[in-house]
Structure 1
Amino acid sequence: MLVHTLPIGTFLTSLLSAGESCGYLGAVVILARTRDAEAQHRELTDDWTSVHDVTGPALAVLCPVPPHAWPRSVRHPTEPGRGVVAEGITLEVPYERERFEGNFWNDLPRRPGWNEVFVMPARLAPAEVHASGWTQAVTDAAEFFGIGEAHVPCLVVLSMGERHGTVIPIDESFGVYNFLKKLMERVGSAPVSLGKSLDKRRQLRRWIAENRTGLEPARVRSLSRKLAEAEVLAPRLIADCRTRVETLTQTVPSEADLRALRAVSDLLRSPQRQAERHNLRIRGLLSRLDRVIGTLETQRPRWEESRRAQEALVTVEHEVTVLRDEVASISLAALLARVAAELPHPLDEKDVGPAPRLPGWSFSRLGRRPTYAVQTTAAAERVGRLGLVGEVWRELRAPKAEKLRVLMLAASSHGDLRVGREQKLIRAALGRATHRDQVKLDVRTSATTGDLLDGITRFRPHVVHFSGHSSKDRVGFDQDVDDFNEGLAVTAGAFARAIKATDEPPLLVLLNSCHSAAQIDDLVDDVVPFAIGMSDEIGDIDAMTYAAQFYAAVAEGQSIASAHASGRAAIELAGLDDHELPTLAWTAGVDPGATKLVRMLD
């Protein structure tokens, strides 16, 4: 593959032009050097697939190149051995890659910095080379968008339809994944539906091309010309046949078409037309008729399937047109402003005018509100009282040392979950840990809502661990009866308010139950700094494996982020399937990679 490394400005200009012509909703450019945003770099390199899955078919994403990879090239649509890249960034295109690449290359000759010399760029494997290329890419891209150094690191969200860019400041507490997830929830389902319809259209077009019925244009022209020459023999019959033949390049043949062709063939072969058959033109027509009839007979088994495919394609084409209009009506800039206003550290929009190198585009910047400092200080005080290892906030005084208190709630009213086994595994894992004496457990089996409130107020836990049944908006507790029972499903809101109903709310809530990840964003927005949940239905053994390893790592002095990663790794190493389901969320102003729940006591 011969690849030409383009200047960032040339690459971005052609990319925006191609994206706009393809009807993309927008593009996201992540401008963050390692020294400025280490957490974002770690998130992007470790969870790049997750970030791209969130943006789906709505947003093209340009991301710094991970150290183990090289830039994703924009390949030439007709020459597979050619491509272009911008060193230091990689591109993910949401849909219509072939059309996008064609538009990109059509636009490229008009751009400065482009020539026809192709070279193979050096692989960005060494860490120092990777960091240097990444840093330079950020600098060049910021200059291209007219973004000053004071506003880097940042996220640039470009709205194609509005030709407007929004610059969003990021710091160590900013979660790219969570922000994009909230944005896509606002965007709605139209881009996703459009992506699916485009995929379906592409598949139908490919199937129709590979299972083509009807006749090639050259063959139709030849037969039509011969029929015109013989039309005097039976004007009405041959004229009808000729009309039908001329439609067979675009439509699926029918039995009526085949009958018309056979009728002309039979006419010319009848005893009454014996004299005409000696005419060379008539003999040529008969020969062509025989070949065409043979072709159509061969295709006959596929006619009905082809007809259904053609009808489905017409329907999908209509869907694509409607969905394109719906996507074009979405104001990405307005949605960004709403999401920013709802963040734990709210942002307000400020107009910064046009971008000199992007004619017709305007830019605005989202800046933090003055109340942000008050909000982050309050969050800091909540985390600070435990005595977390690492300098999470520089302004905090040295915290009080105390044991980590974990309230363990287990509920399985139907008796179908091995919650007792999970608690046993957690106890065993903690018993082997270096700092086992620094963790104190309050275990509540067959936990009721009364156990939850009593544990919160009496035990004052730093961690609330729940194992049992849950859904996206419910948590299941036992009822205080002796027999198996239906249990009591409380709303996620009621559960959160119970957690919050204390002068010293917990630091972490771990919902080791199915579909509970849907609840954790609300928990970190208003209740606790950290929350963990499961993004889908998780197996019993998977859940137990994760929990045991998570607490083992915590008791070894690992950070919350590392303990979370260790739990997921334990599931995968055990050969189980659900290692991607445990999901960690955190509030603004805290860093799970720098926050440790257990430290050595003096």
Structure 2
Amino acid sequence: MTRSDQIKSEIGRLDGSIAALRKELARQQKKADDAAAKARHERDRAHKTKSDSTKRSAMATAERKDKEASTGMKKVGDISVKIAAKEKSVNAKRTSLAAAERSEQRTKDHEDDRRRRKEKSHAQEIARLSHPPARVRFVEVQPPDPEPLRVLYLTANPHATETTVEHPDGTVETNGVWLRVDQEVRKVNQALKKSKFRDLVTVEHLPAATGQDLMDGLNDHRPHVVHFSGHASELGVLLEDDEGSRDGNGMEFALLARVLGATDEPPRLVVLNACESLEGAGDLLRTVPTIIGMSESISDLAAMNFATQFYAAIASAQSVASAVEQAKTQMQMAMLEDFDLPEIRTREGVDGHSLVLVNPSE
């Protein structure tokens, strides 16, 4: 049962209770009115009669009926208070119902978007399988060159994520939050400026990156590291498209591997700072010797902390494995539950502890 269905059921029960109370209110009001009318009648009879016994009997009956009328009116008041309280509760429930229905509609829209992306990725996979697979380059790991480490930093954020909070009074609040990828890049640059060998690392940021931006970046900058921050799934990464549509443009991991290999100088490391991106390691290791990805969905704050500490360690001439461990440790110190999600995968024969991308001796 959805939250809105539950609230509708609660409103139905309250409406039924209010109807029963109104019926009881009418009954008690009638009893009080009848008793008051009877009391007036008996007093009139007592005033008109000349018999003392009849007068005493009539006055006694009048007093008894006055008490019945008073008791009845007290019950009428109590029932009216209960009705008002339940009507107030119904109004609050109706407000909660409207919020829940809006939240469920947004959730449905988000699920529909996700389903469309999966269907699009599935169609692309069918198209890929219908053609003979192209040969993917197998790039060997090379020692660091006597030049600054070049990082191609791609960010894309065509989808907003939503968080839903249910308050104690039953109201539901849903907020759309865009990934703070620009803030992430800013923090990484700040960390690099404070690092020991900051002059040996350069970062080329490509915001709102498309697939064409990636290819142009590989050609223009010949990066040693390709970093992607944004949305991903077990199928691939989500880039922007040239039309700037809300759905973005999904790129499967197998195609991403081909793009990275379609250059004379493929990167030595790919960092996928996005949810479930570790699923692409198998495809990407066919081209790139070392992959860093997230094993599950990671929060925006955790992803930001990971990238900041990772590049601070890389710019201090730490190995890739040590940089990942430093970043995870910093996330744990910050009490982030996602601290264990970043993982490193290497091709057979490649040791992440020996892979140092910044060589200060040169």
* TM band (smaller chain): 0.5 to 0.7
Query: 1:601: Cα distance to partner?
Result: 4.6
Is residue 164 of structure 2 the alignment partner of residue 411 of structure 1?
Answer: no
Give the letter for the 1:560 counterpart: V
CA separation in 2, counterparts of 1:565 and 1:577?
A: 15
Residues 189-239 of structure 1: per-residue CA shift (max 9 Å, x gap): xxxxxxxxxxxxxxxxxxxxxxxxxxxxxxxxxxxxxxxxxxxxxxxxxxx
CA contact (8 A) 1:412 1:469 kept: yes
TM-score by length of 2: 0.56
Alignment of 1:455-494 (within 5 A): 455-481=217-243, 485-494=246-255
Alignment match, 1:35: none
Residues 557-593 of structure 1: per-residue CA shift (max 9 Å, x gap): 1001100100111111101100111010001121111
Alignment match, 1:580: 340
Give the letter for the 1:559 counterpart: S
- Moved segments of 4+, more than 3 Å: none
Alignment of 1:318-333 (within 5 A): none
Among 261, 267, 275, which residue is 1:506 paired with? 267
What SS class does the counterpart of residue 383 from structure 1 fall into?
Answer: coil
Query: 1:522: Cα distance to partner?
Result: 2.5
Alignment match, 1:428: 190
Query: 1:514: Cα distance to partner?
Result: 0.2
Gap change, CA 1:484 and 1:414, over 3 Å in 2: farther
Alignment match, 2:43: none
Residues 20-69 of structure 1: per-residue CA shift (max 9 Å, x gap): xxxxxxxxxxxxxxxxxxxxxxxxxxxxxxxxxxxxxxxxxxxxxxxxxx
Is residue 296 of structure 2 the alignment partner of residue 519 of structure 1?
Answer: no
| Percent identity over paired residues | 41
CA separation in 2, counterparts of 1:480 and 1:571?
A: 35
CA contact (8 A) 1:479 1:485 kept: no
Among 365, 383, 395, which residue is 2:141 paired with? 383
CA separation in 2, counterparts of 1:518 and 1:474?
A: 8
Alignment match, 1:495: 256
Query: 1:456: Cα distance to partner?
Result: 1.1
CA separation in 2, counterparts of 1:490 and 1:552?
A: 29
CA contact (8 A) 1:414 1:484 kept: no
Query: 1:470: Cα distance to partner?
Result: 0.5
TM-score by length of 1: 0.34
Query: 1:484: Cα distance to partner?
Result: 5.8
Query: 1:599: Cα distance to partner?
Result: 1.4
| Structure 1 portions without partners, runs of 5+ | 1-377, 388-399
CA separation in 1, counterparts of 2:208 and 2:147?
A: 28
What's the C-alpha RMSD, in Å, of the aligned pairs? 1.4
Give the letter for the 1:472 counterpart: E
Give the letter for the 1:523 counterpart: L
Larger Rg: 2
Query: 1:419: Cα distance to partner?
Result: 0.6
What SS class does the counterpart of residue 490 from structure 1 fall into?
Answer: strand
CA contact (8 A) 2:276 2:293 kept: yes
CA separation in 1, counterparts of 2:147 and 2:282?
A: 28
Alignment match, 2:318: 558
Alignment match, 2:201: 439
CA separation in 2, counterparts of 1:419 and 1:484?
A: 18
CA separation in 1, counterparts of 2:195 and 2:232?
A: 30
Give the letter for the 2:151 counterpart: V
CA separation in 1, counterparts of 2:201 and 2:328?
A: 22
What SS class does the counterpart of residue 486 from structure 1 fall into?
Answer: coil
Is residue 328 of structure 2 the alignment partner of residue 568 of structure 1?
Answer: yes
CA contact (8 A) 1:409 1:465 kept: yes
CA contact (8 A) 1:545 1:571 kept: yes
Give the letter for the 2:342 counterpart: P
What SS class does the counterpart of residue 558 from structure 1 fall into?
Answer: coil
CA separation in 2, counterparts of 1:532 and 1:595?
A: 13
CA separation in 1, counterparts of 2:297 and 2:224?
A: 26
Among 300, 303, 325, which residue is 1:540 paired with? 300
Alignment match, 2:98: none
Residues 127-158 of structure 1: per-residue CA shift (max 9 Å, x gap): xxxxxxxxxxxxxxxxxxxxxxxxxxxxxxxx
| Structure 2 portions without partners, runs of 5+ | 1-137, 161-177
CA contact (8 A) 2:256 2:284 kept: no
CA separation in 1, counterparts of 2:223 and 2:154?
A: 12
Alignment of 1:86-101 (within 5 A): none
CA contact (8 A) 2:210 2:241 kept: yes
CA separation in 2, counterparts of 1:512 and 1:465?
A: 7
CA separation in 2, counterparts of 1:584 and 1:460?
A: 22
Higher helix share: 2
